[in-house]
Each structure stands twice: as C-alpha cells, then as structure tokens.
C-alpha cells in the first residue's frame, strides 16, 4: 500500500469513528494548559488532572505564579514526576510570560520555546491545541503508532516523525490527527500489548501485517 493511500484511509476511518478528539488534560485557559503540559512530561494525564485543580485555584494568573517560591509550588505538585525540576520550570515560565510576553501565552512555536520548561513538543501542543496551528507534537504514543502503522519511514527520532507527519497530513487535519494518534496509542495501540484484533485500522497497518505473517 502506498503511503498516500494509508494516510487517506486513516483519515477516513478516524473522521467517522473519532470525529472529536481532544486533549485529556483539564484546563480552562492557555496559561493553565501550559502548566498542565509541562507537568505531563513523563507523567500521565490522569495524574496531572489530580494535581492541577488545587494548583490552578492557587495560581490563577502568570503574575500570581511568578511571585511564588519553588518550595510553594513543590507542595502542590510533589506527587508528579520530577517535582523539583518542574516547580522551578513553572515559576520561571510564569516570570517569563510576565516580563517578556505581557502575561500572555504566545502562539508562535519559536517564541514558546524561549520559555523555561517548554521544549519543541510542549510548544507544538500549545500552538496546536490553543491556536489550532498545523503543527504536530510528537510524544511517545505518536512516535510509536506512526512507525507501526507505516505513516513514517526510518524516522528514528521525534523531529523526523514530526516532519513526515506534517508533510503527509493535510494542514487543516493536523491538530485533530495529533489527538487521533495519541488516543489510539493510549487505548488501542499500546506499547506492550496492542489490541490488534479489535483495531479498526489493522488492514492498513504494517505492524499487524508482520504479526499476521509470523502467526501463519
């Protein structure tokens, strides 16, 4: 199957079976989403959603978080992975928003990456989810699912995966496709025990094709 056809069939399938796909992180504004995405690094969305309600209540704005100490923030996020580093990132992120961006979360990916704690993946998430920009954030699920299905070829790092996905998905689909791949990886195409038998796109999947050959 040609790659173009694989993309076409995947889009057709998810457009019908998952027309609405959104982040599972809870948030009410761009600033709070930025906090949640920073916390979600090597931590589950479920865990982050348990942490953020009290954190958001305490720190409603960048200005309030910028005045906090690392120790103050640590107490709210200590059940998250790497709480020491993340407490520093959150406070410094808020300070940067206040001093450099007038308290507003920027929409530009390059500008976002100037903020402490914000790498390319986090910047792409914000640009995509908040501002609906045609950028693809590549997390472990997107990386794995794309390779297994055959959406990417010899993409041995997240940047190569991102470039190939952006090249082949129509621009207006990219923000939605990001969530399709994440949710598929989270609930169907898991790392250790993928649910291939119940997968709706197994007919276009290279991984399933190889598995089928091995079991014959």
> Catalytic positions, please?
121, 139
Q: What is the 3-state secondary structure (H, E, C) of the chain?
A: CCHHHHHHHHHHHHHHHCCCCCCCCCCCCHHHHHHHHHHCCCCCHHHHHHHHHHHHHHCCCHHHHHCCCHHHHHHHHCCCCCHHHHHHHHHHHHHHHHHHCCCCCCCCHHHHCCCCCCCHHHHHHHHHHCCCCCCCCCCHHHHHHHHHHCCCCCCCCHHHHHHHHHHHCCCCCHHHHHHHHHHHHHHCCCCCCCCHHHCCCHHHCHHHHHHHHHHC
CB 54 within 8 A of CB 142: no
């Amino acid at each position: 199957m040609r790659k173009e056809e694989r993309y076409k069939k995947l889009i057709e399938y998810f457009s019908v079976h998952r027309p609405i796909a959104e982040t599972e992180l809870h948030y009410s504004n761009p600033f709070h989403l930025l906090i949640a995405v920073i916390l979600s690094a090597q931590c589950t969305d479920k865990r982050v959603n348990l942490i953020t309600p009290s954190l958001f209540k305490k720190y409603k704005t960048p200005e309030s978080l910028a005045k906090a100490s690392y120790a103050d923030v640590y107490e709210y996020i200590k059940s998250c992975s790497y709480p020491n580093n993340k407490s520093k990132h959150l406070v410094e992120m808020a300070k940067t928003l206040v001093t450099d961006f007038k308290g507003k979360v920027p929409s530009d990916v390059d500008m976002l990456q100037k903020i402490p704690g914000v790498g390319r993946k986090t910047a792409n998430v914000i640009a995509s989810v908040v501002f609906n920009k045609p950028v693809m954030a590549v997390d472990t699920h997107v990386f794995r699912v794309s390779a297994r299905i055959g959406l990417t070829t010899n993409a041995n790092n997240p940047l190569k995966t991102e470039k190939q996905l952006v090249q082949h998905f129509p621009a207006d689909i990219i923000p939605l496709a990001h969530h399709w791949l994440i949710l598929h990886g989270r609930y169907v195409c898991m790392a250790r025990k993928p649910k291939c038998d119940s997968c709706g796109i197994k007919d276009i999947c290279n991984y399933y094709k190889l598995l089928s050959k091995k079991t014959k």
